[in-house]
Amino acid sequence: MKRVLLVIGGGIAAYKCLDLIRRLQERRIAVRCVMTGAAQAFITPLAVGAISNERVATDLFDLEGEREIGHIRMARETDLIVVAPATADLLARMAHGHADDLATAVLLATRVPVLVAPAMNPAMWDHPATRRNVARLEADGIAFIGPNAGEMAEKGEAGVGRMAEVSELVARIENLLTPGAGGKGEIGFLSISAAKGARPLLAGRHVLVTSGPTHEPIDPVRYIANRSSGKQGHAIAAAAHRLGARVTLISGPVQIPVPEGVEVRHVETASEMLDAVEAALPADIAVLAAAVADWRAAEPQRGKIKKRPDAPPPALALAENPDILATIAKPGPQRPPLVIGFAAETQDVIGSAKAKRTAKAADWIVANDVSEARHVFGAERNTVHLLTADNVESWPELSKAEIAEALLRRAAQHLAARRETA
Ligand SMILES: Cc1cc2nc3c(=O)[nH]c(=O)nc-3n(C[C@H](O)[C@H](O)[C@H](O)COP(=O)(O)O)c2cc1C
């Protein structure tokens, strides 16, 4: 029987641990719990003990507890430590090697893998201090799951900061405990150690991003275009770079600067974009966020089409453009392991996006409503739905940078989980 030591921190999401314990036990995983002092303000050791069927450890200086199973044994006699919810304060204490309560003493004394599920207000998660602590912990080899984007417990608050769902936690824990991903005593180290030595989440990965509109020439001065500003695609490229990836950004004509540290190819038309995407492969993740024109002028004119007072307006014949998403997602040796498409819809957003995901063989689709009333084009914020093979998640309104960060963290976790099961 595998063993998990669950460290419960003092956040609202602590109540979810009761369900987590049950779900793990159903999978024949034994759970012993440590609660921080703050955690006990949210759920009681009595409830946790009753569900886990084990004495709950709460105090570093508990004479009886230390005699029964000391904090060093507790830190060692487990296959995995899971910290959920990991508060901002707990992350800070872990990052600085504190050991002034039972939770941090156990975390400092352990040699087994540690999986952390942060949960906090989005402003706390975004704060430079938390960013520094997370980066340091990732560099120390701590594995992260979440946080996800969503509604917060506080009324009217939304953003990136929700603890990963219990089902996601269970799947990740099972992955880390699966023999072959490491084995007893070193479970998950094959995957977790990828983060050792200052390796951020997407280190060693190549992320390919398309962004902006395409311009399809009608003649040398006129073209078919759309309202895409490139803000979402560029934010995705910037976030991928921040998370340590090598990034190739294929950008249509936009008025915004190229994010720092990103290799960019400027293109105009859909066929130029397809050529540039194919030339940039292989990639681990392709995020196709560009608003590629579906049609181009069938016969672009070399000279400017003249307006003639006595002639009717010229008819514009259209030809279909290549479908970049469908081309890249087609099974084959060059297909990136994770292909994410975007769907800008004005009606039946989720239904249309579901159909698009299947028709184009994309892994995920990020769908958004771009009807006029939503003012999405050129805006700083957006409301999106993430469609995967078996799930539809509706995220709250977020900044495009927050959407980019949440999407890429999810993508990194998805790839890490694939590698753990491979
Ligand atoms: C109602 C309430 C909810 C809180 N929720 C969170 C939370 O979700 N995440 C967080 O990082 N801190 C939260 N805090 C603050 C922590 O409880 C506080 O920082 C505490 O010192 C964390 O202790 P611990 O890390 O030892 O569990 C909350 C505080 C209160 C009063």
Instruction: Please give the pLDDT value at position 420.
Output: 60
Interhelix angle 231-242/400-421, rounded to 10 degrees, is: 50
SS3 content of the chain, % helix, strand, coil (to 5): 35, 25, 40
* CATH numbers and ranges of domains, the chain: 2-190 (3.40.50.1950), 206-296+314-421 (3.40.50.10300)
Q: How far apart are CA 322 and CA 293, in angstroms?
A: 9
Residue 189 predicted with pLDDT over 60: no
Rounded to the nearest angstrom, the gap between the alpha carbon of residue 407 and the centroid of all alpha carbons in its chain is: 4
Instruction: Please give the pLDDT value at position 23.
Output: 96
Residues 385/395, Cβ–Cβ less than 8 Å: yes
In tens, the pLDDT along 318-369 reads: 999 999 999 999 999 999 999 999 998 888 899 999 999 999 999 999 998 8
Provide the CB-side half-sphere exposure for 194 (13 A, CA).
22
Q: How far apart are CA 207 and CA 264, in angstroms?
A: 12
* Amino acid identity at 331: P
Ligand 1 pocket test: which of 87, 90, 98, 124 has the largest number of ligand atoms within 8 Å of its C-beta?
87
Provide the CB-side half-sphere exposure for 399 (13 A, CA).
11
Q: Given its phi and psi angles, is residue 235 left (phi above 0), alpha (psi -120 to 50 degrees) or beta? A: alpha
Q: Is the CB of 83 under 6 A from ligand 1?
A: no
- Please give the structure tokens belonging to residue 89: 């304060």
Residue nearest to atom 13 of ligand 1 (CA): 11
Instruction: Please give the pLDDT value at position 237.
Output: 96
In 3-state terms, what secondary structure has residue 353? helix
Q: What is the CA(416)–ligand 1 centre distance, in A?
A: 29
In tens, the pLDDT along 51-89 reads: 999 999 999 988 777 777 788 889 989 999 999 999 999
* Amino acid identity at 408: L
The number of beta carbons lying within 10 Å of the beta carbon of residue 397 is 12
In tens, the pLDDT along 134-144 reads: 888 887 889 88
* Amino acid identity at 338: L
Q: Is the CB of 162 under 6 A from ligand 1?
A: no
Average pLDDT over residues 150-155: 77
Instruction: Please give the pLDDT value at position 63.
Output: 78
Instruction: Please give the pLDDT value at position 102.
Output: 96
Residue nearest to atom 25 of ligand 1 (CA): 90
Catalytic annotation, residues: 226
* Amino acid identity at 419: R
